[in-house]
Amino acid sequence: MTCEETKAHMKAYLADKMPARELEAFLEHIRSCPACYEELETNYIIERVLDILNDKAKEEYDFREQLQDRMEEQAEWLTKRRVYRPAYFAVVTAFVLMLIVGILELQGIHLLSLFGLE
C-alpha cells in the first residue's frame, strides 16, 4: 500500500470499518513508514481528545500506547483469521456434503449405486 492509499484509509481504520484484506496492507505500511504512522497517531489523538471533550472516553489518556495496543490486537486478529479460516471452510463444506448425501438418501438415491460401486 502506498502512502497516499494509506492516508485515504486512515478514517476507515479509525472508525473500525476497514476490510481485513486492506487492514493487513494498511498495518504493514504503517509499521514501515514513519511519516504515515505519525499522521495516523495525530489523527488518533485528535479523535480521542474529541471523544474526551464529548465525554465518550474512558479515563485513560496514554494515546500512543492505546494506538499501539490497538494495532497489536488487530494484527493478532488477522493472524487468527488466517489460521482458522481454512478450518471453518472445511467444516462448512463437510456439513454441506453431509446434508446433500442425507437428502439424496431420503429421496432413495444411493451414491454408491450412482457410481456403480454397490
Q: CA angle 116-92-21, nearest 5°?
A: 130
Q: CA angle 55-71-62, nearest 5°?
A: 40
User: CA-CA distance, 107 to 79, in Å (whole number)?
Assistant: 43
Q: Is the dihedral of CA 4, 28, 21, 78 positive or negative?
A: negative
User: CA-CA distance, 62 to 56, in Å (whole number)?
Assistant: 16
Cell of 36: 504515515
User: CA-CA distance, 68 to 21, in Å (whole number)?
Assistant: 20
Per-residue pLDDT at 36? 93
What is the residue-level pLDDT of the chain in tens, covering all 118 positions?
A: 899 999 999 999 999 899 888 999 999 999 999 999 999 999 998 988 887 777 655 556 677 888 889 889 998 988 888 888 888 888 899 999 999 888 888 887 777 676 666 6
